[in-house]
Chain A
Amino acid sequence: MSEDIKKFMYLNRRAPYGTIYAWESLEVVLIGAAFDQDVSLAFLDDGVYQLVKGQDTAGVDMKNFSPTYQALGDYDVTKLYVEKESLEERGLSLEDLMPLTYEDEDDDWAEKDSIRVVSRAEMADIMEDQDVMFSF
């Protein structure tokens, strides 16, 4: 990797609907993906709800943008860290989340999981390692 590449992390802490933060974050990620940086996403607190499968926004009259997370792999955004404790505190587990995958160019385009469930302590280490953090 060249020296110009920085580690960018987008921190998502809020529920997907009710505020514009989650959608804004996703749009910034997709736009930022054009700059060839080392991008990862973190989902903590209510932010884990952004990845829950079977979202239906008919009742709140907002666009259901959850299918857009499926496009992240195409944009070479392949690291989605989800905090284990945040899931557990909300009675959720990996099975409740949308399966998100990417194709690994360096491994004969093998399909791999983008979501990585990590503990709070591991998440702290990952954050420590970043050059730039965006909090939404």
Chain B
Amino acid sequence: MAIEINGKSFETDEEGYLTNLSDWEPGVAEAMAKEDDLELTDEHWEIINFLREYYEEYQIAPAVRVLTKAVGKKLGKEKGNSKYLYALFPYGPGKQACRFAGLPKPTGCI
């Protein structure tokens, strides 16, 4: 599978995750969100960027439980809860947000 953006092709796996993390650019997240009928706001980007930083530091995409805790610590308690994160990413903050961020499927997501 692949995503086409302005004539440029981005390879994805069978679940829609980007094959090469280094291919990622913001347009990839925009295109994936559009397919999911989602408009990306600053709040979405805050989480997407957070995930990219987390991956940079730990080399894994965090499980949703770990993501929730880490967001609470970094961005404040009012954001570190499943209600807030699921409102932003209805298909699951772990899976959907990681996909938008160009990360692999979260390790420890079941």
**Residues in A lying within 8 Å of B, measured CB to CB:** 27, 30-34, 63-65, 67-68, 70-71, 74-75
Contact B59 A65 (CB under 8 A): yes
17 A-B residue pairings within 8 Å (CB atoms): A27-B107, A30-B60, A30-B108, A31-B107, A31-B108, A34-B65, A34-B108, A34-B109, A34-B110, A67-B57, A67-B59, A68-B60, A70-B57, A70-B58, A71-B60, A71-B62, A74-B66
Binding site for A on B (CB under 8 A): 57-60, 62-63, 65-66, 69-70, 107-110
Collect the chain B residues with CB atoms within 8 Å of residue A75's CB: 63, 66, 108
Closest 10 CB pairs of A and B: A71-B58, A30-B108, A30-B107, A74-B66, A31-B108, A68-B59, A67-B59, A34-B108, A68-B60, A67-B58
Q: Which secondary structure characterizes the binding site on chain B?
A: loop
Bound CA span A63–B104, Å: 14
Describe A's contact surface by its main secondary structure.
helix
> When the two chains form their complex, are residues A74 and B57 in contact, meaning their CB atoms are under 8 A apart?
no
